[in-house]
Each structure stands twice: as structure tokens, then as C-alpha cells.
Structure 1
């Protein structure tokens, strides 16, 4: 199917026809089937829609259809339409993984709203599967590299707690690989086949942050499954947790304490089975003291704390990691791996790497692409490598600002560095962003 569809299964021709028309009027693609066996033949693990089925049907009832669909893919959402006498069976199916049940008689808007939530859930499931597959490819090529004692202990600890199903707080500076640690913990856990939902708390717009996280219910025109509910049975990764809005912190605390989520506008909370991994830059404890972060939320998140050391604390790993990144960049760009000379090795050991692995990776890519060759030989040939890198850095920032007409957000995306690092470099190189912005006339 080229678009998400509701697969409607009901042997009542009149009701089926009426519901089919209702879905079409609501703008939802629908495939209506009288025979559950025929409907089942339409479903495979790649089915991207939701199933709405009556319970009472000849040959195969809705409960058996649900069980067979779950055997194909337990994350295909199935909504069951049930009469008064079948409510107990529907509740049992709900406990076994059915998405929802709609008791008859029901308002069509109620069914449409439930179907929209189911379609949104299925879309998130499939998106996460694709993201997981891509992440696993990345992990296979870029493991958590390092042979210093601190990195060996970190990997050993991760292995020990991965299957413990306990919440984890990952602490580390920008570019140290906090999300990679979260993905590995999920991959090594018993939840590996379930959703891994990553949320950047700093990137949530204040106006929609609660709906994005907790979902929306109570308005059939705006049903939406939140990111938290989308991680049910899997892992929820909350990146930059220190940037969470105060109002959202209070609701997150309830999620952690009760393992349930209350959608915006909803009447009843929804039970959750999830593992939470949060990531923060150093200073979360100070944020609690300053009143910017709730102490109770930190206590709940901090069941186990993993600290990822910055590169300056494990300098012996830098050459090993840099060699890996060089080979990776060479393979990506179809170039030969450049020779690392003694000056480069000295710089690798002396530099503090404030951008950590991300900054190291950028240097590897530049060396593979031989970007430094663009500089005039008579100007840079006698300069030491750090000075040449500084000149290249300044030239790259200026060229990027020129390309994006001084737009900071676009420059950050192009350069791949954090906002603070960007402004620090502007100050160091005495670059005025305003000079690159169009003059207003």
C-alpha cells in the first residue's frame, strides 16, 4: 500500500458500507473486507496501516483474527468493535496487546479518532524500525572505541546493566557519544526488538512540547500519539534532559513514578512498559541546586549514572579512534587513507578536543578530503599544524556564513558544531556574523 490505510473487517454489509464511507469522508484510506481470511492475506510484517475488526464473525471471529495478526507482527494495531456481551473478551484481548476496543453502539467520531491514533502509532513503529536498522549499521561501523581503563570499564558496566531493565542517566560533554551509549544499551537489552524513541528535549518548541511528548486526546480532530507512548514496551531516550521545560518536568516525573502517561485533554492515563535513558551535559546536580531542575526527577532518573569521559581524559585513545575515523571517512568519500605524520600525531595528543569525537571526526574528514591543500603554500607551508588548522577553521566558518547569508541556524547545521562552540570560535577569530547578513534597504 502506498499510503497508510485502515483495513476494515466486518461481515455486516450495511455497517461495513457505512463505516467505509465514514473513513473516506474523514480522509482516511480504507480497505473493506467481509471475509477475515481474505483480510488476513493482505497483512505482512511490512503492513503500514491499522486493522478495525468486529468480534462476532463466522468462520473466524475478531479475536482469532487478532491472534493471527499478532503472530505476523505484534505491533500492528488492532481495534475491536464489540457488543455489550463481548466486552470481557475485548478487555482480555486488550491485555494481550490489542490496541483498543470500541463498544457498540459508538459514535463514528470515536472510532475515527481511535483509528487515527492507531495509524500514528504504526507510523512511529515503522519509522523507528528504519531508524534502528540505520543505527545498527552505524554501530557496527563505529563502536564505542577505546582501550583506556576508563573506556573498558564503561563498556563492561554497560553490558552488566543493559539487561537489568533499569533507568539510566548518561552524563557527558557535547560530542562524547551519549546517544550511541543509549542505542547500545537498547541493542544489548531484551527490548532490542521494540521501539527506540529518541527525543531531544532542547529542541521541543514550548508551544507543542507537551503534545509532542504526552500526546493529545479528547478532540477527534486532533488525536495524536505522543513520543512517550510510542516507546511503550521499548526504550525512551531523553537527550539534553537538563533543557526540559519546568511544566514538562512535573509530568515526566509522573511517567517515571507511575509508568503511565496522561495525554493532553485525556480523561484516563495509559499504562506504559518502558525503559528510560536520559542524557545530560555535566552540571545537572548544579541545576537542581539552582532550582532549574526538579530534584525528584533527578532522583528517579539517576538509578544508574554512566559518565562518558571527554577525549582530554583519555588521550591514549585519540590516535586509535582517529585512525578508525580516517578509514571510515576514506571509505565514505572513496579516497585513500592519508598518512598520519608526526606533527599530526603530536597535535592529536596536545589538543583538548572541546568538541570531542565529533570534532575529531570533522578533522578526519578534512584530512581525507585534503581541504588544507586549498591554502596557498607560500602562506601556510612553514606554519605548525595547529596554526594551519586554525586558519582553515576561520576560512571554513567565513565561507559557510557567506553561503548561508549569515543565518546562524543554517551555519550550525552545515558545520556540525554546538551553538556555544560556534560563538566561541567567532569570538576567537573575530568574526562578525552581521557582516554576512543582507543589508535591509
Structure 2
């Protein structure tokens, strides 16, 4: 079995030798004494783990070289697990490194046994994330269908199951969250993958035009033109924002699903069709059905399989992975020499609420690539403010209760974003690991 590669980045030859001796049995140990040497190693060989001293030449008393090394290696391999070694008086710099994406940190003097345990955790985390990415990047998956977060793993599982059958599916989620991307993956992985995938925008098309587009022309003389259901025959029709359909069009769609045929107003008789219907919505169709705005029977027909695409703010490290994907995609498209994001920008990407979800992220990255000729994109280039949190809502509870509830929520969200990496969550919250452990016990928190 091939050993995982461990990069030891330290300008002290004695330290590198100690690390090599301690870890050579379990890892293929690669050594570097400068940031440039480490970058060459990362580019030439896939490196999964690293032990990195922040103080490197030409300024070993400053953390800047080590920070830059972490950022550059992560831009080559976003799954890279870096364990930081730092002095007692440099703990804040270690917290900053965790914000950049480092896995954990230790202050000098270092216990080799503790580092060994942390590297094992890092390797386990790396393998799990690599397996998730591999499963989501195989044949049929759209390139932008990226995710290692728990919510996206559930999405991938549902898509695979839905692709195996030939029944209607309903995809729910916020605007811009990737519902059409999920629908295309469902189509490409299914038995209809060689046939047409026809997308129909139910919200962005006027009623009469939409009726003609879906079911056939209504006496305007252009006979012989196929409607969307006929074009999709044998394949898939995607009903984007199906909740925007009028009640009359809902009725016609329901008949198509019941009878597997359409009645064109410009011809006699019915035309049989073999189409899989995948619908999407950002609306609460159940509430609309209760109020009479949406057909309850149609809801049952289109929602035999249901899939919820999570908002980007709930997807943890996926934000950075997607940002890197879009950066590489558009830097190639516009022939721009952009390599990555600066250290402050990485923090902004994680803290920003992304109300426009994946679509907003791609648009911001694309615009930054177009308008800024620089090697690294900043938060300002993306148009993200330094403080990018939603304002708290008004509440009638007491101050102490509200403070406690807010603290519990902050701890819970930090642990979720860090996949229960206590060191990273503590660094994000600005508290010690010991205090965070006490809060976990106090609030009776546990991984979902």
C-alpha cells in the first residue's frame, strides 16, 4: 500500500531529521527548508499532509513566509492538511493559519506523540474528503458539482438513487443554490443520459408564451414545430420554478403526467410521449397547496422523489473549494494569471452569508478575475465587506437567556463549519480548546 506523503517544512535541519525519523514508518517524508522549495514539492508530487513551522527564511522571526506557504499549497491541493508549529507567543498567528485552512497547530516544545495522533486524524479526514470528491466528480457529474460537506454528501446520495429510477423528482432550494446543476446530474447519471435534457423557465416566461412552448402553438400558423415535451421525448424535461405555473398550466401538466401524452391545440388527437419530469422550486409548495395556489395532486405527482439542495452558507469548506474551481475556470477563460485568494479573503469567503448562493459566488469571482490584474484576489476585489454577518433579529427573551442562546449557536455553527475540529473551532471563536470543551459539555453538543 502506498504511504501518504508528509511534507516537513522547517529551516532547522535538526528538526527535519527528527520528524523524518519519527514519521518515516507511516509516511513518505518529503523535506523543504524554504517556501519556494515546499511549493516545488507540492507542484511535483501530490502531498496530503504537512508539518509547517511558520517562521521561515528570509524572515524567520516573522510568520509571513509560513502563512504564504500554507495558502499556496492549499491553492494546489485544497484538501492538504497542514499541522502548524509555532512559538508560545505566536498563538494568534496559529489562529490565523487555521482561518487560512490549516488543520491543527502546536506550540513549542512539541510532543511527537501528539503530532502523530493529529497526523492520523488529518490523514483520515483527507481520505474521507478525497473519496467524497471522487464520488462527485465521476462520469455524469457536472464540474461545478463540488462538495465535501455533510449536506452535499446527502445530496449526492439522493441524486444517485434518483438516477437509478425513471420517476418524477422535485428539487427544492434557495435561488442560486444549484438546483439545475443537480437536475442535470440526475439526468446524466440515468438511463436517459444519451437523450435530450430540455430546460423550461416557468417563472421567466409569460403565460401565453409558456403555454405554447410547453404544449404546442395555438393557431399562429407555424404548424409542425415541436413543443418542449415533444423535443424531450425519450429524455428529461426540467421545469424550473414549477411553482410559478398558473393553475390552468398546472392542470395541463398534471394530465401529461397522468396520461403520458399531450394534446396539441393545432392538431387532432393526442401524441404519446416518454419523458421524465424533473421540477425545481424555491417556493414552499406545500403551503401553496394548502392555500389553493398549487395543485395538491400535482405536488404529489412531481414530488415522488424529493431533494433539498442546501444554501451555500451551510456548506462549510465547500465555499473555498468552489471559489478555487471558479477562479481556475475563469482565469483560463480570460487568460489571467490569477493564482489564488489572499489570506484575509479566505476568511471572508467563510464568514460571508452568500444570500445568492453558488451563483453569487461564481459571479463575484468571475468579475474579480475580469477587472483586477493581480496574482491574488482580495475580499475587496470580490466586493465582500470585512464584517459580513447578518444583523441579529429582535427578540423578546431576557438578556441572559438571549446571550446564552447566542453563545450556544455560535459554538454549534463553528463546530459544524470545522467538522468538529475542536482546535479550528476554538481558533475561529477566539477561545481556548479547554474552554470550548467546557462549552460543548455545558450545551450537551455532539456531532450530527
Report the TM-score when normalising by structure 2: 0.51
1:224 CA drift (Å): 3.1
Q: Distance in 2 between matches of 1:344 and 1:219?
A: 55
Residue in 1 that maps onto 2:324 = 323
1:277 CA drift (Å): 0.3
* Paired residues of 1:344 and 1:385 also in contact (CA < 8 A): no
Residue in 2 that maps onto 1:183 = 184
Cα distance change of structure 1 residues 351 and 159 upon mapping to structure 2, 3 Å threshold: same
Residues 27-426 of structure 1 correspond to what in structure 2 (within 5 A)?
142-216=143-217, 222-371=223-372, 386-387=384-385
Secondary structure in 2 matching 1:175: coil
1:221 CA drift (Å): 5.5
Q: Distance in 2 between matches of 1:212 and 1:386?
A: 40
Cα distance change of structure 1 residues 153 and 235 upon mapping to structure 2, 3 Å threshold: same
Q: Distance in 1 between matches of 2:233 and 2:346?
A: 47
* Paired residues of 1:217 and 1:224 also in contact (CA < 8 A): no
Secondary structure in 1 matching 2:200: strand
1:159 CA drift (Å): 1.3
The superposition leaves residues 68-93 of structure 1 with CA deviations (integer Å, 9 ceiling, x where unpaired) of xxxxxxxxxxxxxxxxxxxxxxxxxx
1:371 CA drift (Å): 3.9
Residue in 2 that maps onto 1:130 = none
Bigger drift between 197-206 and 208-217 goes to 208-217
Residue in 2 that maps onto 1:431 = none
Runs of 4+ residues over 6 Å off in structure 1: 138-141, 217-220
Q: Distance in 1 between matches of 2:203 and 2:209?
A: 13
Alpha-carbon RMSD across the aligned residues, in angstroms, is: 3.0
Q: Distance in 2 between matches of 1:160 and 1:141?
A: 17
1:386 CA drift (Å): 3.7
Q: Distance in 1 between matches of 2:337 and 2:373?
A: 16
More helix by share: 1
Secondary structure in 1 matching 2:171: strand
1:150 CA drift (Å): 1.4
The superposition leaves residues 249-277 of structure 1 with CA deviations (integer Å, 9 ceiling, x where unpaired) of 10000001111111124331111111110
Cα distance change of structure 1 residues 139 and 333 upon mapping to structure 2, 3 Å threshold: farther
Q: Which has the higher contact order (CA 8 A, sep 6+)?
A: 2
Q: Distance in 1 between matches of 2:262 and 2:179?
A: 25
Cα distance change of structure 1 residues 220 and 368 upon mapping to structure 2, 3 Å threshold: closer
Q: Distance in 1 between matches of 2:254 and 2:296?
A: 10
* Paired residues of 2:177 and 2:357 also in contact (CA < 8 A): yes
Q: Distance in 2 between matches of 1:244 and 1:217?
A: 18
* Paired residues of 1:168 and 1:302 also in contact (CA < 8 A): yes
Secondary structure in 1 matching 2:264: coil
* Paired residues of 1:198 and 1:236 also in contact (CA < 8 A): yes
Residue in 2 that maps onto 1:411 = none
Secondary structure in 2 matching 1:203: coil
The superposition leaves residues 384-406 of structure 1 with CA deviations (integer Å, 9 ceiling, x where unpaired) of 9744899xxxxxxxxxxxxxxxx
Secondary structure in 2 matching 1:279: strand
Cα distance change of structure 1 residues 250 and 148 upon mapping to structure 2, 3 Å threshold: same
1:342 CA drift (Å): 2.3
Unmatched runs of 5 consecutive residues or more in structure 2: 1-136, 389-448
Q: Distance in 1 between matches of 2:321 and 2:303?
A: 32
Residue in 2 that maps onto 1:131 = none
Aligned residues: 247
The superposition leaves residues 215-255 of structure 1 with CA deviations (integer Å, 9 ceiling, x where unpaired) of 14788754432111211111111101011122111000000
Cα distance change of structure 1 residues 213 and 152 upon mapping to structure 2, 3 Å threshold: same
Q: Distance in 2 between matches of 1:149 and 1:276?
A: 27
* Paired residues of 2:187 and 2:197 also in contact (CA < 8 A): yes
1:325 CA drift (Å): 1.2
Report the TM-score when normalising by structure 1: 0.52
1:199 CA drift (Å): 0.6
Q: Distance in 1 between matches of 2:382 and 2:210?
A: 48
The superposition leaves residues 15-72 of structure 1 with CA deviations (integer Å, 9 ceiling, x where unpaired) of xxxxxxxxxxxxxxxxxxxxxxxxxxxxxxxxxxxxxxxxxxxxxxxxxxxxxxxxxx
Secondary structure in 1 matching 2:239: strand
Unmatched runs of 5 consecutive residues or more in structure 1: 1-135, 374-379, 391-441
Q: Distance in 2 between matches of 1:140 and 1:303?
A: 22
Cα distance change of structure 1 residues 282 and 246 upon mapping to structure 2, 3 Å threshold: closer
